[in-house]
Amino acid sequence: MLKHPAFHIDLTTCTGCKTCMIACKDKNDLPVGVKWRRVTEYTGGHWVSRADGTVTQDVFAYYLSVGCNHCEDPICVRNCPTTAMHKDESGIVLVDATKCIGCRYCEWACPYHAPQFDPALGMMTKCNFCIDYLREGKAPACVAACPTRSLTCGEAEDLQKQWGDSVTVAPLPDPAITRPNLFVTPGRTAQPAGSSAGRVANPEEV
């Protein structure tokens, strides 16, 4: 089992197919409306007519697969009044069902919207890094299902050595807020965090 697991997403190869999202819902038997992993489509740019009659453009679009990033300083844990939201010895953020009262403070605090309220259970649920698979030496369902291998995971230290410090792109929040264990390889058209050059094209899905 990984000692300190982290995710890596390569935006140069992600096609936005949402196979990771489907695999997560299937593996965890998640109800409609509960999405532990979501794929955001971020788009922007314009077509501009020039005086000579030609048209130029700076249109861009890219996809970003995000679940819980099992942050170094998880704001969900800090805001949980019952300690139901907690980190285990590997840094994986988990929900203790015996303590969760469904207050949703963690959901409101998390800038990645990782904790998800399950109305049927009356409590919070979230990505647990497929900890059962990790204990068996297998990859999380989302990682195993990715057809382009854009989504991978590994030891946080190894990923940092390979990809450098965590890079954030729009529409992700500032990583300083929670210090996520997420490493991003930006694509050619990726916009910096905080950019207003684009918009989320599929808000109903994320």
The CA angle 122-123-128, to the nearest 5 degrees, is: 145
Give the per-residue pLDDT at 164: 77
Q: What is the pTM of this model?
A: 0.93
What are the residues facing 43 on neighbouring strands? 61, 199
pLDDT at position 70 is 98
Q: CA–CA separation, 138 vs 143, rounded Å? A: 10
- List C-alpha distances in Å: 15 to 12, 47, 154, 193: 9, 23, 21, 20
pLDDT at 168: 83
Q: Could you read off the pLDDT of 17-60 as tens digits, one per residue?
A: 999 999 999 999 999 999 999 999 999 999 988 889 899 999 99
Low-confidence stretches of the chain (pLDDT beneath 50): none
Please provide the CATH number assigned to the domain covering 5-44+56-205. 3.30.70.20
- pLDDT for residue 194: 87
Quote the pLDDT of residue 149: 97
Looking at residue 166, its pLDDT comes to 67
Residue 163, pLDDT score: 83
Q: Map out the domains of the chain as residue ranges.
A: 5-44+56-205
Classify each residue of 7-26 as buried b or exposed e, where b means 16 or more C-beta atoms within 10 Å of its C-beta. Answer: bbbbbeebebbbbbbebbbe
Task: Determine the pLDDT at residue 48.
Answer: 87
